[in-house]
């Protein structure tokens, strides 16, 4: 079993969905987990859950606010003495073709999905380089496959993959590995919200499941297992690349 004993991991968007799945998996592997989310109540709920068997700290804030980010990293190091792993998971999805998006829509999408990665990496790297560490960015299959009505989201997720490569090059000599995970359709509250907005919820679910050669949608645990691998010493010679976790969807031309 892959272990993260004595490691400290900061995970953004950790109150629910993929972020919560990663936080729980890392805690099970022995890491102290810092749960950062704009949903402070949700983050504190996860903190209580993880503290039943491990070490956890909830921090409320906005990934696009530099002051919040800087304070979160300081709180993480203050609470646990170090920082070894950063998982940039927080994200939103702003839908619509370019001609229908406002400048505010565009800024909101990139501020959360891309600027947040920049800010957390900027403030975490000085601590990660002390002992060497790992950054795992949660991108999407949207980085490689375009979908109608997803211009801003696709741009943000493509940007995350480019930023992953740049960070890996800039900080490899610091002993910091940087990789991205590109999930397909994952069962999360955000995905459920999208399904519930469709005219025929059951038909929409069947269609999405049909995209996957494995015959199912992914779960947060599927992504969490991939993140655990990339964050651990088992991936000590892997950096500057991405791992697609999509049940074969891209291979099927979806």
Average pLDDT over residues 42-59: 98
CB-CB contact of 187 with 205 (8 Å): no
The CATH code of the domain that includes 176 is 3.40.50.720
Q: Which of 123, 147, 153, 185 is catalytic?
A: 153
**Does 35 map to a domain?**
yes
Bridge-based pairing of strands 133-138 and 85-88 is parallel
φ, ψ at 8 (rounded to 5°): -120, 125
Task: Report how far residue 254's alpha carbon sits from residue 248's, in angstroms, rounded to the nearest whole number.
Answer: 9
**Does 193 map to a domain?**
no
Residue among 139, 166, 167 at smallest CA distance from 153: 139
**Does 201 map to a domain?**
no
Extended beta strands in the chain, E state? 8-12, 32-37, 56-60, 85-88, 133-138, 176-183, 242-245
**Does 189 map to a domain?**
no
CB-CB contact of 240 with 179 (8 Å): yes
Domain count across the chain:
1
Average pLDDT over residues 119-142: 97
Sole residue written with tokens 């490569």: 165
Which tens digits make up the pLDDT trace of 156-199?
Answer: 999 999 999 999 999 999 999 999 999 999 999 888 888 998 99
Residue among 95, 83, 76 at smallest CA distance from 148: 95
Mean pLDDT lowest among 124-128, 167-171, 189-193, 216-220: 189-193
Q: Give the model's pLDDT for residue 190.
A: 82
Q: Is 123 a catalytic residue?
A: no
Which tens digits make up the pLDDT trace of 237-248?
Answer: 999 999 999 999
**Does 204 map to a domain?**
no
**Does 207 map to a domain?**
no
**Does 215 map to a domain?**
no
* Contacts of residue 144, Cβ cutoff 8 Å, sequence gap at least 6: 158, 182, 244, 250
Give the range of the structural domain holding residue 52, as residue numbers without chain letter.
Answer: 8-184+223-245
Task: Please check the confidence at residue 1 and state whether its pLDDT lies above 90.
Answer: no
CB-CB contact of 148 with 191 (8 Å): no
This model's pTM is above 0.85? yes
**Does 177 map to a domain?**
yes
């Amino acid at each position: 079993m892959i272990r993260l004993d004595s490691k400290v991991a900061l995970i953004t968007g950790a109150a629910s969905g993929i972020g919560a799945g990663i936080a729980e998996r890392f805690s099970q592997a022995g890491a102290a987990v810092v749960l950062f989310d704009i949903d402070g109540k949700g983050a504190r709920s996860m903190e209580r859950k993880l503290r039943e068997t491990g070490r956890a700290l909830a921090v409320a804030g906005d990934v696009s606010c530099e002051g919040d980010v800087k304070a979160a990293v300081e709180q993480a190091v203050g609470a646990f003495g170090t920082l070894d792993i950063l998982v940039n998971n927080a994200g939103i999805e702003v839908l619509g073709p370019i001609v229908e998006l406002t400048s505010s829509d565009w800024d909101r999408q990139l501020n959360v999905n891309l600027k947040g990665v920049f800010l957390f990496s900027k403030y975490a790297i000085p601590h990660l380089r002390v002992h060497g560490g790992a950054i795992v960015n949660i991108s999407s299959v949207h980085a490689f496959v375009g979908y109608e009505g997803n211009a801003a989201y696709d741009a943000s997720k493509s940007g995350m993959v480019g930023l992953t490569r740049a960070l890996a090059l800039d900080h490899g000599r610091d002993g910091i590995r940087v990789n991205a995970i590109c999930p397909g359709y994952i069962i999360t509250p955000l995905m459920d919200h999208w399904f519930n907005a469709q005219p025929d919820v059951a038909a929409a679910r069947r269609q999405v499941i049909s995209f996957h050669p494995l015959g199912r949608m992914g779960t947060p645990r599927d992504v969490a297992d991939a993140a655990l691998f990339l964050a651990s010493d088992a991936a000590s010679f892997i950096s500057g690349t991405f791992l697609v976790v999509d049940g074969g969807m891209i291979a099927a031309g979806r």
